[in-house]
Structure 1
Amino acid sequence: MPIDVMMPFYGDVAQFRQAVTSVLAQRDGDLRLVVIDDCYPDPEPREWLTSLTDPRVHYLRNETNLGVNGNFRRCVELVEAEHFVVMGCDDVMLPDYLGTVRALARDHPDAVVIAPGVEVIDDRDDVVRPLGDRIKAFLTPKPAVGAAATTLTGEAMATSLYHGNWTYFPSLLWRTAAVRDVGFRPGLEIVLDLALLVDLAATGGSLVHDPTVVFRYRRHEASVSSVQAVDGRRFAEENAFFAVEARRCADLGWHRAARAARFHATSRLNHAQSRVLTAIAALRRANARP
């Protein structure tokens, strides 16, 4: 059965072409690629995409700009397959990505999320390891001796993610029915993926992680999260989110998860360390203070 690769688009045209090409070059070609154009003003991406003769490629353009959260919700509405990916239009699938996540989903039929191994690249396609990604690597659960993958469920899954969201959203394979039951929380742009993951954990869902690297996630300064970190919006959204989560976990009797949500140390330390020097250098003392 095909896997739906949903690709919300609004961004760099060259990187978009690279992302699409990497999807169509998968060794496991049983897929449907759906590009959802969020009213990008340049017609070149649309013209290039519609010129492709591959029947697996589908193009849709939103009537109005929906923004990050709205376009992600639109992606979920349009999914037809049992499993789907919401891939960034600047990321890259390595050739064995789909085959790997499909096999993991088959071997772990109860999993609602599959998280494969990821390497980070910059705008020049060079593999990089910024501080935040080194922290992610440290927090990523390691498989038990003799096991190929790690499974997290319920409170253990939520606690791990509150300590630090070590997943890379565009690389995740989701079970469609489970995601539709929960949905993306309205109003979130930075932590909408983390919110979905912990909402699935609260329903008893499980996450399977295999460290085999099959996906390349692009890290660059123009991303929504990077821009909002500098002007303080990211801190505000995360702090509000974790406060709500701490109360919810306490109500569920998830005491370890509640402590992790209240402290959310990695979120604080990672963003402060990576952005404070930039803010000070630009004499933005008000932005550096948070």
Structure 2
Amino acid sequence: MPRVSVLMPVYNTKPDQLREAMDSILSQTFTDFEFLILNDCSPNADVEEVVKSYTDPRIVYARNERNLGISGARNRLLDMAQGEYLAVMDHDDISLPERFVKQVTFLDAHPEVGIVGTLTKGMSKGTVKPRPTTDVEIKKMLMAHCNLSHPSCMLRASVLKEHGIRYEEMFSPAEDYSLFARLIPVTQFAILPEALFIYRDWEGNTSHKQAKKMEAAAYGIHAFMRRDNPELWAMAQAHIMRKWRYRLFGLVVLSKEQTFRESKWKLFGVLPVWGKKEALTKIL
């Protein structure tokens, strides 16, 4: 039985990007893994040709007879997995060579942690965004928005099995966010303070193409997170209030340099307004 199962669904992936993703997994310094690649009935024959051009015995390739969608595909990969740990991977990103060894070492040393991510680097700009690394701070962050990079994560398989947690179709394409939300009450989170993952940010990403659907799904996810984690929800609300200094009659004034997701603020009863703080008197 391998220590790690790498879970990678593929669908209409560009051949050069798929090769980069596969090469990054097969080049890991940690080698005790099975590499599960699931073709979700892609109409692009190049996907299968690329995968079958590799002869590494750790690769386990399967193809769905019909398209299951991202949640269904991810769940089938969960069913196929034999490893103690589950390494999520997307078909067009890159895992740096020491990602697995550092995540496995961390999970071995911290049995209370069920999911560990890493910092990520944007492929186009090379920027690394800071993220909290401790359990409570990560969970507070997730109360507001999904800023934990799903394909950088490694999960403890036993936690998912014990609590019956899987990807939920009703929240697709935010199925990763719903998975994190279900895990919040049952295990601890961590993020390694190193950029061990390179994210391909381009106009074809799901986060760009299906932004409206993801935002709608987030409303449902926030609803059950608030119900199941009232203390964390209150802490997150207090954190947002402190971060933006002051609220008057539900208004928050943002400079033009600051960005936000409108839905996040509405959830906490805050209406974003562009301008300077001095403009509050005119607004009111």
TM-score range for the pair, normalised by the shorter chain length: 0.7 to 0.9
| Aligned AA (2:223) | A
| Aligned AA (1:235) | E
Q: Is the counterpart of residue 78 in structure 1 residue 61 in structure 2?
A: no
- Provide closer, same or farther for how the CA distance between residues 270 and 47 of structure 1 changes in structure 2, counting only shifts above 3 A: same
Distance 2:196 2:213 in 1: 32
Distance 2:167 2:238 in 1: 22
Q: Is the counterpart of residue 28 in structure 1 residue 22 in structure 2?
A: no
Q: Is the counterpart of residue 268 in structure 1 residue 262 in structure 2?
A: yes
TM-score (structure 2 length as normaliser): 0.77
Secondary structure at 1:36's aligned position in 2? strand
Distance 1:109 1:116 in 2: 18
Count of residue pairs the alignment pairs up: 245
| Aligned AA (1:17) | R
Alpha-carbon offset, residue 116 of structure 1:
1.7
- Identity among equivalent positions (%) equals 25
Q: Which runs of 5+ in 2 are unaligned?
A: 242-251, 253-259, 266-284
| Aligned AA (2:174) | V
Alpha-carbon offset, residue 12 of structure 1:
1.7
Aligned to 2:174: 191
Write the deviation string for residues 205-240 of structure 1: whole angstroms up to 9, x where unpaired: 0012211121111111112221122xx323222223
TM-score (structure 1 length as normaliser): 0.76
Distance 1:268 1:75 in 2: 34
Alpha-carbon offset, residue 185 of structure 1:
2.4
Q: Is the counterpart of residue 179 in structure 1 residue 160 in structure 2?
A: yes
Flag the structure with larger Rg. 2
Distance 1:66 1:19 in 2: 22
Relative contact order: is structure 1 or structure 2 higher (C-alpha 8 Å, sep ≥ 6)?
A: 1
The one of 131, 142, 146 aligned to 1:161: 142
Q: Is the counterpart of residue 247 in structure 1 residue 227 in structure 2?
A: yes
Q: Answer whether contact 2:215 2:263 (CA < 8 A) is retained.
A: no
Q: Answer whether contact 1:118 1:215 (CA < 8 A) is retained.
A: yes
Q: Over aligned residue pairs, what C-alpha RMSD do you find?
A: 2.7
- Provide closer, same or farther for how the CA distance between residues 107 and 50 of structure 1 changes in structure 2, counting only shifts above 3 A: same
Distance 2:121 2:44 in 1: 30
Larger proportion of helix: 1
Distance 2:169 2:154 in 1: 21
The one of 220, 239, 245 aligned to 2:202: 220
Alpha-carbon offset, residue 16 of structure 1:
0.7
